[in-house]
Every structure is written in C-alpha cells, then in structure tokens.
Structure 1
Amino acid sequence: MRRPTISPTAYRRITLLALALLGIIVVTGAGVRLTGSGLGCSTWPSCEPGTLVPHDESGVHGVIESTNRYFTGFVSVGVILAVAGSFFRVPRRRDLTLWSWTLVAGVLGQIVLGGLTVLFHLSPPFVMGHFLLSAVLVGCAVVLHHRAGEPDSGERRPVATPEVRLLAKVLLAAASIVLLTGTVVTGSGPHGGDPDVERLPFFLPDVARVHAVAVWILLAATLWTLRLVRRGGASPSVERALKALVVLEVAQGAVGYLQYELGVPVGLVAVHILGSMLVLGSTIVVLLRTSVVEPTRTTTPRAPDPVATGV
C-alpha cells in the first residue's frame, strides 16, 4: 500500500487551521468567563455527574460551558492533523514534527488545567495559568506556521543587525510581561466566571496602572526598534512586521483604556483578549523575521568544452 503524502503548501494550510482553532478557543474560553458560565458544568471531565451534557437546571450557563468543552474536540483534531501532516509531508522535516508535538503537549496540559480550574471553583491562579498556557500554545502555532513556509533546505542567516535581533527578543519578553500583568488585572476584576468565586486581593486601579505601564514600555520599545530598522538595521519584511505590531499595540491600548473607563463591559473585554493574542503573535513574527533560510542552490554541471580535433 502506497504511503499517503502531502505537499509543503498543503501542510502549511493545516498549520494555519491549527493556529486559527487555538486562537478561537482563547476567545470562546473568555466568553465562558465573561458570561459567568465558568461553573455552568458542576464537575469535570463530565459536565454533570454521569453525563457529558448539562442538566436543564444548568440553564444557558451550562450550555455555554459545555459547548466550549466540545469545541476542544475540534482543536484536538486540528492539532492531530498538524502532527500527522508533519509525518506525511514530503519532504519530511524534523523541526516541523517537533513543533507540532508542542501543540499536543499544550492541548493535553490545557485539558488537565481546565479540569483543575473547575474542580478548584475558578480559583484565579488556575484561571490565569489556563490563559497563559493558551498564549504559549498560540505562540507555538505561530512558529510552526512560519517555519512551514520556509525552504526545506538551506542555511539560516540573519537579516537584521545584532542590536535589532536582541531588541526583538526584548519585545517578546515585554509582551509576555504585558500578558502576565493583564491576567492579574483580570483576576482582580469583576469577570471571574461566576458571581461567587474568589478574586485576587489587589486593588483593581493599582494593578491596572501596572499593566498600563507595561503596555507603554512595550510600545516604546517597539517604536525604538522600528526606528533602528528604518535606518537600515533589518530587512523590509522586519520593518513591515514592526509597523503592523505598532498598529496592533496602539489599538489594543485604546481598547484597554476604553474598557476601563466604561467599567469593563463584556464586549470590549472580549475584543481586548483577542487583541492580546494578535499582539503576541505579531511580536513573535517580528522575531522570526530577523533571520531567513536561504534555499540551497543547485548548479547544473557545466558541459565540457568541445575538444578540437585535427583532420
């Protein structure tokens, strides 16, 4: 029986699907919390004792929570396709296989952490960990999708100065701090997933200011990096990625300030959560674009010169 194969183009489409599903479930998971449906199912892994579906008494909250759990199945399929595709891709590449397995590990971790979050009644540290692991998963999926579009053979070389490459790493660290402080704000705010769950013992305006400072630092570092790149510090693709990142950061900051002034309405919080994933993914893209793989050039052997013969 002939072994099935897929092309590099088809595999990159699979990685895009996995990335999209991992991003969507971040938003749907936030929807569970924002609608107060975090305890719509009373237990885990079943929704109610002895059944995977919610009881009538659970109402709409049970439907929302169980639907989000069912969607995890689609995410799992996308991740399985990414792993299987890395084996059937021609040519097969070890780096793609390894990055695809990180998605499997992350999804398994998410399932376990999600269960613990329910069993510990939406304790803020578990909710924060669940979201941060989701962010790590999205980041890994971005890397997988990017690498799937690189040439299969060649030598990796930098297309940015050492200073810009270092700053790209600083940007990723700064974006991670923004995410972390954002989860602290969330854990201290009103949207805990259920009216009766505990919240972090921090004064919301104080932690919101800390988060805002982290955002301003990220934006300032991005603008400084863009300034260096425009002076010839990196390739045009890095500059384009940085410009896109600046736009996302400004929009994300505007949404953040607006939601705070309006009393954190659910719709704006959902947009802010989506924006956080876009900012993270764009920051990773900036770092990835500071180097490229140059395809190996194959040269056709030159035909020997004709030998003159005397008559």
Structure 2
Amino acid sequence: MILFVLRRVFRHGPAPAPAAGPAGRRARPPPGAGARCKPAYDGPVTNPLSLLAERWHPTPQHVRRAALAALVMSVVIVVTGGAVRLTASGLGCTTWPRCTADSLTPTPAMGINGVIEFTNRMLTYVLCAAVGWFILAARCAKPWRHALTRLGWAQFWMVMSNSVLGGITVLTGLNPYIVAAHMVAAMGLVWVAVLSWERAAEGDGEPRALVAEPIRLLARVLVGVIGLLVLAGTLVTGAGHHPGASSKDGKPVYRIPVDYDRLVQAHADLVFLSVGLTLAALLVFAAVKAPPAARARVRELFVLLLLQGVLGFVQYFTDAPEVMVGLHMLGAALIWGAALRVPLALRGRAGIPAQAAAPAAELVA
C-alpha cells in the first residue's frame, strides 16, 4: 500500500488540497465528484412499436386486410349489440363493469340473458384485437403510414369510449337516449373503419378531385341525409317495441315519449329522400362520366336502400319481429358504410415516392 502511494505521488504529484470554505473549513466536494460518468446516450429513443417495425414489414395487402378485419368487426358489434336488445338481454348483466355486484361473469341463475349480454361484452376484446392488428400493420409498414396509424388509434379510443357508454346504458336502466347515443357512436366507428380501409388502398400524396365541386357536394349531401336516416332510426328504436329488457327494478323500461307512428313516418320520409338523392347521383354521375368506381358504389347503395326499404315496410306491418329488426340493423350499418364510400371514390391520391417505386405487385389492393 505504501509503495502504491509513493508511486502515485512521484508520477502525478500530490493531490491538490480542497479549497477552504468559510471560517477556514474545508469545502465539501460536490456530489458525485470523482465518480466515473458514462457517456450520454444520444441515439434515437425506441419503444416496442418501433422495435417491432425494425423487424416486421407487412405488405400493403396485409395492411388492407387488417383494415378490413377492423371494419368487419365494427359491423359485427352493431349486430350483436342489436341482438342484446332484441333478446331482452340488455340487463342480462345487472351492472358494469362487472356482470353482477359480486361476479365478473354471469351466474347460472341469470340464464341465457346473462350469457348473451356477457358475450357481447367479450366481443369488444375481439374488436380491440382487430383494431390493434391494423395499428401494428400501419405502424410497421415501409414507409411508415402515419395517417393510417392515427386512424387506427382513433378507432381504438372510439371503441374504449363506446364501451364506457355501453356501461352507462346498463347503469341508467337502458335509457333510450343513451341507447341511441350508443348506436350513433357505433356508426361513428364504422365511419372511421371505412375511411381506414379506403385509405389503406391509396397512397399518401395530396388528394386531387376527379370531378367538379358541385358533384362532390352532391355526394356529401347524400351522406348527410343518410346520416339523418340512421339517426332517425335510433329514435324509432327508442320509442318502439324492443326496449332491451322487460323491466328495471320492477318498473317498465323508459321509452321516448313521442308517437311511434309519427316517428316511423318521419323515418320513411328520409328513406324516400335518400332513394331520390341516390337515383339523382346515379344519373348525374353517368352524365358527367364520373369514375367507374364512383358509379358502381352509387349503384350498390341504391340496391341496398331498396332492399332496406322493403325490409322496413315488412317489419312495420308485421309488428317488428326480432329477426326482421336484426336484419334491419345489419342493413343500416351496410348502407352507412356504402354511402361513405361514394365521396371517397371522387378523389384520388398519388403514391408517395417510396410507394411509387415499389414493385407493382406490392401495390395491388
């Protein structure tokens, strides 16, 4: 030890004494003095998504399949939510987020209604998985599809918000206005899912109009009227035959206090207006030689509206049987999605350079 100290003194000289502080006291060395510091890390900050993106590069076809899966599940959850109401299972689980005050899952005493309601809740996780797949595919694609990733996260938070809204419907004893808002939120999810699916087949360049502005305005008006049609349908449901449960705490489930027949008539008027606007769009699109995809989508919408109209009239005059109402809800989701696709076919997007340089086979939608 003595030899080590002497060798250090002869090589480096004696260590400087610490500066004296006030009153001749030696100043305390600053914290960490003499400690060896690691060099600062100045590389990029990574997270699990960026690490996955370095190792997995899904093709454009894969991204669009993921978007389609999320879209299909957004429609499925509309239909299963309707099945809960039509089987009087809306209060099959008596509370939320648990199924009962003492159980997370339904008990045998709750019967089939508890199973139906709980199954619908569990399908939310399947929907989240589909949306998560889309988010990962959009994030890991090369190049990174920033807009698609944002649309995926928008879907995720809409699912989360609507699941809370679904819980509120239970806690409020199936209040018809909350139930209607729950349905409108589900249609909002369909909207974003349709947009995601369409955008997955396009590039990320700036959109360019393929027709004149008045034609695009007609398409937007058509979407707005069909949106009002869907909204009116939720009000008809709120005043109609299937409240979702027979009673709440021994009292009948509250219904919207508006004459049912008048609501149905207003709903039918919007159907006629929607059919007329769709027929007008068919003729105008043909006259101005709109893109073939736009004309095909308007034809699809026209057929769906006619089928839905026939179904609605049969449903009304047969006292709204459960199966007919369920098919009507499926038709509403399909019509809404078909209407949203019409204006999207009236503009195009050029691919960004990295996409334009990719092999043509990888860009097939």
Specify the TM-score bucket, using the shorter chain as the normaliser. Answer: over 0.9
Structure 2 residue 212 is the aligned partner of structure 1 residue 161 = yes
Separation (CA, whole Å) in 2 of partners of 1:173 and 1:277 = 15
Separation (CA, whole Å) in 2 of partners of 1:198 and 1:72 = 26
| Aligned counterparts, 1:177-216, within 5 A | 177-196=228-247, 197-216=253-272
Following TM superposition, the consecutive aligned residue runs of length 4 or more in structure 1 with deviations greater than 6 angstroms are 296-299
Separation (CA, whole Å) in 1 of partners of 2:64 and 2:102 = 40
Question: Kindly tell me: are residues 41 and 191 of structure 1, through their superposed partners in 2, closer, same or farther at Cα, counting changes over 3 Å?
Answer: same
The CA deviation at 1:4 is 2.0
Query: In structure 2, what is the equivalent of residue 253 of structure 1?
Result: 309
The CA deviation at 1:180 is 0.7
* One-letter code aligned to 2:266: V
Secondary structure of residue in 1 paired with 2:323: helix
| Aligned counterparts, 1:236-275, within 5 A | 236-275=292-331
Query: In structure 2, what is the equivalent of residue 113 of structure 1?
Result: 165
Structure 2 residue 86 is the aligned partner of structure 1 residue 34 = yes
Separation (CA, whole Å) in 2 of partners of 1:219 and 1:191 = 27
The CA deviation at 1:233 is 4.7
* One-letter code aligned to 1:81: W
Residues 162-220 of structure 1, C-alpha deviation per residue, up to 9 Å, x if partnerless? Answer: 12100110011001100111011000001010122111101111100000001111111
Gaps of at least 5 residues in structure 2 are 1-50, 248-252, 358-365
Residues 97-141 of structure 1, C-alpha deviation per residue, up to 9 Å, x if partnerless? Answer: 121111012101111101100000100011000000000001100
Separation (CA, whole Å) in 2 of partners of 1:71 and 1:30 = 13
Gaps of at least 5 residues in structure 1 are 300-311
Structure 2 residue 279 is the aligned partner of structure 1 residue 223 = yes
Separation (CA, whole Å) in 2 of partners of 1:185 and 1:117 = 17
Query: In structure 2, what is the equivalent of residue 289 of structure 1?
Result: 345
Residues 40-72 of structure 1, C-alpha deviation per residue, up to 9 Å, x if partnerless? Answer: 001100111232211122111001101111111
Pairwise CA RMSD of aligned residues? 1.5
- Whether contact under 8 Å (1:188, 1:204) holds in the other structure is yes
Instruction: Select between 97-106 and 263-272 the one with higher mean Cα deviation.
Output: 97-106
Secondary structure of residue in 1 paired with 2:333: helix
Secondary structure of residue in 2 paired with 1:46: coil
Instruction: Select between 30-39 and 96-105 the one with higher mean Cα deviation.
Output: 96-105
Query: In structure 2, what is the equivalent of residue 124 of structure 1?
Result: 176
Aligned residues: 298
The CA deviation at 1:87 is 1.1
Separation (CA, whole Å) in 1 of partners of 2:153 and 2:279 = 35
Secondary structure of residue in 2 paired with 1:201: coil
Separation (CA, whole Å) in 2 of partners of 1:53 and 1:100 = 30
Separation (CA, whole Å) in 2 of partners of 1:296 and 1:275 = 36
The CA deviation at 1:161 is 2.1
Structure 2 residue 43 is the aligned partner of structure 1 residue 20 = no
Identity %: 36
Residues 288-309 of structure 1, C-alpha deviation per residue, up to 9 Å, x if partnerless? Answer: 001011346879xxxxxxxxxx
Query: In structure 2, what is the equivalent of residue 304 of structure 1?
Result: none
1:9 to 61, 65, 68: 61
TM-score, length basis structure 2: 0.79
| Aligned counterparts, 1:88-103, within 5 A | 88-103=140-155
* One-letter code aligned to 1:146: E
- Whether contact under 8 Å (1:155, 1:296) holds in the other structure is no
Secondary structure of residue in 1 paired with 2:288: helix
Separation (CA, whole Å) in 2 of partners of 1:18 and 1:35 = 26
